[in-house]
Chain A
Amino acid sequence: MTTIKAIEANLLTKRFGSFTAVDAITFDVQQGEIFGFLGANGAGKTTAIKMLIGLSRPTDGQAKVAGFDVYRQTEQIKNHIGYMSQRFSLYEDLTVKQNIRFYGGIYGLSRREIKTKTEEIVSNLELRDYSNKVVGALPLGWKQRLAFAVAGVHDPKIIFLDEPTGGVDPATRRQFWEMIYAAANQGVTIFVTTHYMDEAEYCDRISIMVDGKIEALDSPRNLKIQFEAKSMDDVFIKLARA
């Protein structure tokens, strides 16, 4: 009872008409863990995330995020989580600083807190020379790192990342994962979806979704043993083909 789980999902289900997008998934995520959420396109990852972050109402099952119920307490959940979606979701026509100020303001940060946060993000990302440039003018990799930083502007307990590194070059992906590790080291729980199997190896534990169900859930090492596979690639292909 001493460790509060960051995320608890129990038979969480979402149906759209007769189609079951997410089929009774059950899993826990520990605090400070980097939890990889894998699956082929259309396996139901994004739908599952949307239920957890309060954008989509579950059809059935229970789930708690940061100790709050996904049916009744979505607004409390939103105070404690950060989210970075597949689509780039900062304002391209605002500058780096203005984006940070806007999201900080929306999360209710004070003027002073916004100022320190802005300083921190700009110096961590080495964006000082670009802080007054519109975000639309930045290269994709920089944008994604900035989006991650902005998702954590209010120091949330959990950050959800939905394919954060899609279309980003390997060097920038590395930098991105360094940011993820740094956040996890400070106790932030990371819930991340990805299609890159090398990234899956960086996670503490991963789950693999196939057709709305979680077919495997363990550390990358144990999964490789369990499926008698050399790499995560093989694990994934074995599961997805089955």
Chain B
Amino acid sequence: MYRLFHIVQKEFIQIARNKAILPLMTVVPIVQLIVLTFAANNEVKNVQLAIVNHDQSTYARQLIQKIQVSDRFILVSTPRSSKEADALMQGGEVDIVLTIPPKFEKRFYQLKSGKIQLLVNAINGQQATVGASYLSSIIQSFNKEIRSDAAPQLFVQKVNPIPRIETTNSYWYNQDLDYKYFMAPGIMGELVTILVMLLTAMNIVREREIGTIEQINVTPIKKWQFILGKMIPFLIIGFVLLTIGLTAGKLIFDVPFRGNLGIIFAYCLVNLMAVLGLGLFISNLSNTQQQAMFTTFFFVIIFILMSGLFTPIESMPKWAQYLTIPNPIAHFVNVMRSVLLKGSGFSDVWFNFWVTGILAIIFNTLAVWSYRKVS
């Protein structure tokens, strides 16, 4: 225990003396939390729209007005011909081209169905499909309005009033569909994991580069004492990071804290053990800090992209969904969101606890095993 204390003490002195680590621990996470939470937004807004209006009628103008009112679309151009519109699409200037055919209004009064064409640029799949469906729903509701308001006499008696199914939505856990509530907790979890993993991965290999590891290896220190001595400081750093993240999330975004924060910190402990084990394992296998950094990036990128932070795990292919099981960031993101937004209790996130616990055992066994005092 006494030896352990000396290692931890030494690590803290080194961390305190390192000019890069303190800002890395405070400014960087807050900046990232703010920037990512605002930027990593899946809401479809600002869809660039071109409208080709071949029918200079009241209805056509009303429809265009209705679309312009919506803040999701920006009417960038009103080309005269379809050819011009195609060129805009080709040039990537617009996402959707809406074409109102000639005699749009006239056909409507003639009780013929009116056809409006939507050309959708599907390179950005989400922008395209979601944008198109927003636009369709605007057209639908416009349709309904003109049917009932503008010309009731034409329709009410003649058309059989078949009952329509309508849906009304109520959004649980995030009533206003505020995307920031969804992103901020996930990003906090991700940030803690990544920063701690990077710091640990660079740690032992740094001692190898400088040569001090050799000096440590000729002392009678036990492997587990060395590994644990390296872990404890970073565990504490991880907790500080989480606290900073939660505070910033509350102050800046007013993220709801519906669940018990104790569960979050308890899970953070398990998660950090896993990530620290992995970081130290990488560090042990690397000869230079550069190698350690690239190896860590490899894991970090996969972990983030497959964590469900930016894209839902449920929409990944089955095999990829299984790959998210040994991903500590995926569990952290899930725990943060469930506990903070839904108020989940311990029993709801039990699965995340035990999978991460197993990961912690595996990674730390590898870390102790791969630390060789004798070559």
Contact = CB atoms under 8 A, between A and B. Distances in A.
Interface stretch (B54-62, B157-165, B209-217, B333-341): B209-217
A108 B3 CA distance: 6
Interface centre among B7, B14, B217, B218 (most CB of A within 10 A): B218
A87 B210 CA distance: 8
Given A81-B218, A87-B211, A98-B13, A55 B374 contact: yes
Interface in A81-108: 81-83, 85, 87-94, 98, 101-103, 105-108
A13 to B, nearest CB: 16
A74 interface: yes
A55 B214 contact: yes
Interface in B1-46: 2-3, 5-7, 9-10, 13-14, 17-18
Given A53-B218, A55-B217, A78-B220, A102 B211 contact: no
A72 to B, nearest CB: 11
B374 A83 contact: no
Nearest to B211: A87
B219 interface: yes
B221 interface: yes
B374 A106 contact: no
A89 B9 CA distance: 18
Interface string A160-185: 00000000000000000000000000
Nearest to A87: B211
Contact of B374 (A54, A87, A93): A54
Contact of A54 (B3, B6, B218): B218
A79 B2 CA distance: 16
A89 B214 contact: yes
B375 A83 contact: no
B373 interface: yes
B214 A102 contact: no
Contact-size category for B: 20 to 34
Contacts of A79: 220
A57 interface: yes
A75 B6 CA distance: 19
B7 A106 contact: yes
Contacts of A219: none
A43 B211 CA distance: 21
A231 interface: no
Contacts of B210: 87, 89, 92
Contacts of A107: 219-220
Contacts of A91: 10, 14, 212
A98 B374 contact: no
A108 B14 CA distance: 21
B215 A83 contact: yes
B214 A106 contact: no
B211 A93 contact: no
B374 A88 contact: no
A56 interface: yes
Nearest to A107: B219
Contacts of A134: 17
A132 to B, nearest CB: 12
B215 A89 contact: yes
Contacts of A78: 218-220
Contacts of A105: 2-3, 5-6, 9
B375 A55 contact: yes
A159 to B, nearest CB: 11
A223 B221 CA distance: 40
A88 B212 CA distance: 8
Nearest to B7: A106
A55 B214 CA distance: 8
B374 A74 contact: yes
Nearest to A162: B214
Contacts of A98: 10, 13
A135 to B, nearest CB: 11
Contact of A108 (B2, B13, B214): B2
Interface centre among A53, A108, A134 (most CB of B within 10 A): A108
Contact of B211 (A50, A54, A55, A88): A88
Nearest to B212: A89
Nearest to B216: A106
Interface in B62-104: none
Contacts of B9: 102, 105
A144 B71 CA distance: 70
Contact of B3 (A56, A87, A106): A106
B18 to A, nearest CB: 7
A50 B375 CA distance: 9
Given A55-B373, A57-B374, A93 B3 contact: no
Nearest to B218: A83
A138 to B, nearest CB: 16
B4 to A, nearest CB: 9
27 contacts: A50-B375, A54-B218, A54-B373, A54-B374, A55-B217, A55-B218, A55-B373, A55-B374, A56-B374, A57-B374, A75-B220, A78-B218, A78-B219, A78-B220, A83-B215, A85-B215, A87-B210, A89-B211, A89-B212, A93-B13, A94-B10, A94-B14, A102-B9, A103-B215, A106-B3, A108-B2, A134-B17
Given A93-B17, A98-B13, A106-B7, 15 more contacts: A50-B375, A54-B218, A55-B214, A56-B375, A74-B374, A89-B215, A91-B212, A92-B210, A94-B10, A101-B6, A102-B6, A102-B9, A103-B219, A105-B2, A108-B3
Closest 3 CB pairs of A and B: A105-B6, A87-B211, A89-B215
